[in-house]
Amino acid sequence: MNSQKWIRSLTRTRIRLLGGVVMGVAVIVGLWLFISRTQLAVPLLKTCKPECAPADAPYRRIDVPVDERIEDLLSHMTEAEKIGQLALVEKNSVHDLNDITSYGLGGMLSGGGGYPTPNTPASWLEMVRSFQARAQATRLGIPLLYGVDAIHGHANVIGATVFPHAIGLGASQDPDLVYRVAQATTEEMLATGIHWNFGPDINVVQDTRWGRVYETFGSSTDLVTSLGRAYVEGMQATSSMDARAIVTMKAYLGAGAMVWGSATNEDYKIDQGTTTEDETTMRRVELPPFQAAIEAGAPVVLVGLNSWKGAKLSTNHHLLTDVLKEELGFRGMVVSDWYGVYMIPGGEYHAVVTAINAGVDMVMLPFDYKSFVGYVGRALKSGDISSARLDDAVRRILRAKFAAGLFEQPTADGSSLASVGSDAHRAIAREAVRKSLVQLQNKNKTLPLSPNINRIIVAGSVASNLGRQMGGWTVEWQGIEGNWVPGTTILDGIKAAVSSSTTVDYSLDGSFGIVSSKANIGIAVVGETPYAEGVGDNAHPSLSATDLATIDRVRAVSQRLVVVIVSGRPLELPPESNKWDAIVAAWLPGSEGEGIADVLFGSYPFTGTLPLAWPR
C-alpha cells in the first residue's frame, strides 16, 4: 500500500470511529432522557429499579432487632418512597387502588361509617387484604397501616361486640375489666386484618356539654391514667400469631379542657376549640395519662384539633417535639387528626411544612394525597423541611409497623373471623355493662327489683332501641337508630330476667291505655339520641320533653317508678325527678342490654361510681 492510500484508509477509519462515538452518545442521552422522564411521570417505580432489596435483607428478617431493621429499610428507600409513608388517606378518597402502589402510601383508614359493602366481618377482611396487596406490590413491600375507630369495640362492623363507651368503663373504675375489653376489641380488629385503633381517648374531660365526653374515662386525672394504661396494656398484650395492635393515645393535648364557645368549626360549640390552661396546669391535669400510656408502650399519639396559645396543636413544636419526643422520650409516631393539618391558616403548603416541622410524622390528610406528596417534595427541595426530619418521621412510622408485626403478617387469614361478636366477647361486654351502672337515687329500697313481680311495664325512647343504646361511632360516624344490628335491647334483657309468671308490657311512649290497676313497677328507659364529636355539643344536655312525658305516663300507671338514663354524659334532671323512686345512670351500654337487668333484678350489685360530676 502506498503512503497516500494508507492515509485515506486511516481517515475513513477515523470518520467511522467518530460516527460511532456520536451515535453512542446520542443513544445514551436518549436513554437518560427516557428514564428520567418516566421517573417524573410515575412517582414510584413498581419494578425493581433502582433495585429491589434482596429477599434476605435485614429489614425483612424477624430475628433482626427492630432498630436495625428500620435503618436497613431506610437505606433502601428513595425520597419518593419516604414521602409516601407520611400520607394517611381515608379509603373512600383512593379512587384508583393502584395509587397505593404508585404513591407508596403509608397508611389508610376507615373514618366513622367507612365500611365496605356488604358490611360484614368477612368483607372488611377482604377489603383490607386488597389494600395490603397493593402495598405488597411496591418495590420494598412496605405494608400499610390501616386504622379504624374501634373506640367501643370494632363497632363500625355489623356483628361486632359493642362495649359500653369509655365513660361507662370510667364508672366501673375497674382496670382489669378495661384490660379485657381492650383485648377483646383487639381480637375482633385483628380478625378482620386491622391492626390500628384510633383510641383510647385519654383526655381528662372538664365540660359535660362537649360532644365527646363519652369517649373519655372521666374527669379525674388519676382515673383516666389508670384506665388508659390498662387499655393500652390490654391492646398491646393481644396478638394473633405475629400480628399485634397499634394503640393510639388521643387527643394530645388538653382536648378535654376546651372552652365553651371557642370552636373554630362554625357548626360546633366547643369541639375543635381552644384550651386556655397554662402549661403548669396542662402538665398536672392533662399530661399524666399520656405519660403512663407511653410507659406502657403505646406507639402512636394523635394530635388534637384544639388550639392552645392561639394556634392549632399540630403547629406546636414545644408540645409535640420538646415535651413529647424529647422530654418524655416518646419514640413512637405522631399522627395528625382528620384534616387537622389543613386547619392551620396560611395555605396548604405552609400548613404541611409547619406541622411536619413541629413534629407531626404521619398526616391524616385524609382526602387528597397527590397535592400532599407535591408539597413535601417541594419543601425538601427548598430546604423548608430537612431530609433529617423526613428520615426521623419515616423511622417513627416504620417502628409502629414493625412493632405490629405488619411485615410478617400484614393482614389476617380469616381463621379468627368467628371471634367477631363471639359469645366470650359478649360476656365481657355484659359484665362491663353491669359494672358501669351507677345508682343515682333509690327511695324506699325500690332497687333491686324482685324477678317475681306480678306485672312490670316498660316504656321509653331507649327501651327497645339498640342504636340509641350503642351511641355514636356505631356503624356510622353519628351512630344509628333501631334494632337492625345484632345485640340485646334493654327491654329484651328485662323480659329474660323475670320469672315465667311475670307479665312485661311495653309501650314506646308509655301509653298503656285505661288500666284497671297500676303495675307493680314501671321502668322508663330514656336518654340521648346518638351523636359524635361537635355534632353532640349541647348547651343543656337534658331529658327531652318527649322523654319527660313518657316518664309521667309511666308513673301514673305504676306503683313504683324506675328511670334508666342512657346517655353519653350527665343530663340535667327536672325538679320533679326527686319523686321518681329510683334513677340509674347507664351511660351508653352497647350491644349487651341484659347487663342492665342483671343489676336491676339483683343478680349483681350496683358497683359503679360517677366518673364525673352529675349536677342535681
537 counts as binding ligand BGC under rule CB under 6 A: no
Which is closer to ligand BGC, CB of 112 or CB of 471? 112
**Residue 423 φ then ψ, to 5°:** -60, -40
Of the two residues 180 and 212, which places its CB atom closer to ligand BGC in the complex? 212
Length of the chain equals: 616
Q: Does 112 bind ligand BGC (CB under 6 A)?
A: yes
Is residue 69 within 8 A of residue 53, CB to CB? The reply is no
* Amino acid code (one letter) for 324: L
Residue 75, CA distances (Å) to 69, 78, 116, 361, 394 in order:
10, 8, 36, 19, 11
* Cβ-contact 397, 72 below 8 angstroms: no
Dist CA 150 CA 155 (whole Å): 6
Count of Cβ atoms closer than 10 Å to residue 111 Cβ: 18
Cβ of residue 458: shortest distance to ligand BGC, in angstroms?
A: 34
Q: Does 111 bind ligand BGC (CB under 6 A)?
A: yes
φ, ψ (nearest 5 deg) of residue 459? -150, 175
Distance between CA 306 and CA 311 in Å, rounded? 8
CB closer to ligand BGC out of 112 and 254: 112
Q: Is residue 533 annotated as part of the catalytic site, yes or no?
A: yes
Residue 157 or 563 with smaller CB distance to ligand BGC: 157
* Closest residue by Cα to residue 474 from 119, 227, 168: 119
Cβ neighbours around 58 below 10 Å, total: 17
CA dist., res. 174 & res. 216, Å (int)? 15
Min. distance of Cβ 149 from ligand BGC in angstroms? Answer: 5
Q: Residue 59 is which amino acid?
A: Y
The residue from 533, 537, 547, 598 that is catalytic is: 533
Please list every residue from 475 through 494 that binds ligand BGC, using CB under 6 A.
477
CB of 183 to ligand BGC, least distance (A): 20
Cβ pair 588, 211 in contact under 8 A: no
Three cell numbers, residue 268: 360546633
Nearer to ligand BGC, 143 or 211 (CB): 211
451 belongs to the binding site for ligand BGC (CB under 6 A): no
CA–CA separation, 213 and 612 (whole Å): 10
C-alpha to C-alpha distance for 311 and 109, rounded to whole angstroms: 26
CB of 218 to ligand BGC, least distance (A): 18
Half-sphere exposure of 545 (CA within 13 A, CB side): 0
Work out how close the CB of 166 gets to ligand BGC at its nearest, in angstroms, rounded to a whole number.
12
- Scanning 109-117, 227-235, 490-498, 586-594 for contacts with ligand BGC by CB under 6 A, the matching segment is 109-117
Which of residues 81, 187, 337, 361 is near ligand BGC by CB under 6 A? 337
Per-residue binder mask for ligand BGC (CB under 6 A), 163-202, x = binder: -----------------------------------x----
Stretch in the footprint of ligand BGC (CB under 6 A) among 107-115, 168-176, 180-188, 597-605 = 107-115
Instruction: Give, in degrees to the nearest 5, the angle at Cα 124 between 123 and 125.
Output: 90
Give the residue closest to ligand BGC by C-beta.
111
CB of residue 249 to ligand BGC, shortest distance in Å: 12
CB of 313 to ligand BGC, least distance (A): 12
The residue among 416 and 478 lying less far from ligand BGC, judged by its C-beta, is: 478
Q: Biggest alpha carbon distance in the chain? A: 140
Residue number, 273 or 608, with CB nearest to ligand BGC? 273
**63 flagged as catalytic:** no
Q: What is the DSSP string of 555-579?
A: HHTEEEEEEEEE-SS--B--GGGGG
> How many residues at the interface with ligand BGC, by CB under 6 A?
9
CB of 367 to ligand BGC, least distance (A): 11
Residue 115 sits in the site that holds ligand BGC (CB under 6 A): no
One character per residue 219-258, x = contact with ligand BGC (rule: CB under 6 A): -------------------------------x--------
Question: Least Å distance between CB 210 and ligand BGC?
Answer: 12
Cβ pair 234, 178 in contact under 8 A? yes
Contact 468, 462 (CB under 8 A): yes
* Shortest distance in whole angstroms from residue 145 CB to ligand BGC: 13
User: Could you say which of 90, 271, 277, 337 is catalytic?
Assistant: 337
**Cβ nearer to ligand BGC, comparing 147 with 589:** 147
- Number of other residues whose CB lies within 10 A of the CB of residue 528: 25
- Picking from 201, 196, 175, the residue whose alpha carbon sits closest to that of residue 185 is 196
Instruction: By CB under 6 A, tell whether 113 contacts ligand BGC.
Output: yes
- If one asks whether residue 149 binds ligand BGC (CB under 6 A), the answer comes out as yes
Residue 268 or 407: which CB sits closer to ligand BGC? 268
Kindly tell me which of 337 and 594 has the beta carbon lying closer to ligand BGC. 337
Q: Counting contacts by CB under 6 A, is residue 217 touching ligand BGC?
A: no
Q: Could you report how far apart the first and last alpha carbons of the chain are, in Å?
A: 121
Whether residue 58 has a cis bond before it, omega within 30° of 0:
no
Residue 236 CB, shortest distance to ligand BGC, in Å, is 19
**Which range of residues in 80-88, 108-116, 385-393, 486-494 is near ligand BGC by CB under 6 A?**
108-116
Range in contact with ligand BGC (rule: CB under 6 A) among 64-72, 110-118, 310-318, 344-352: 110-118
Strand (E) or helix (H) holding 490: helix 490-497
User: Cα-flanking dihedrals φ and ψ of residue 506, to 5°?
Assistant: -125, 140
Out of 217, 252, 338, 375, point to the residue binding ligand BGC (CB under 6 A): 338
Angle ∠(165,169,170) on CA atoms, nearest 5: 110
- Which residue matches cell numbers 324506675? 562
Query: Does 361 interact with ligand BGC (rule: CB under 6 A)?
Result: no
**Which range of residues in 30-38, 105-113, 346-354, 445-453 is near ligand BGC by CB under 6 A?**
105-113
Place of cell 435485614: 58
List the beta strands (DSSP E) in 326-383: 333-335, 363-364
Pairing of strands 558-566, 582-585: parallel
- Tell me whether residue 477 or residue 506 sits nearer to ligand BGC (CB atom): 477
Which residues would be at the binding site for ligand BGC (CB under 6 A)?
111-113, 149, 198, 250, 337-338, 477
Return the active site residues: 337, 533
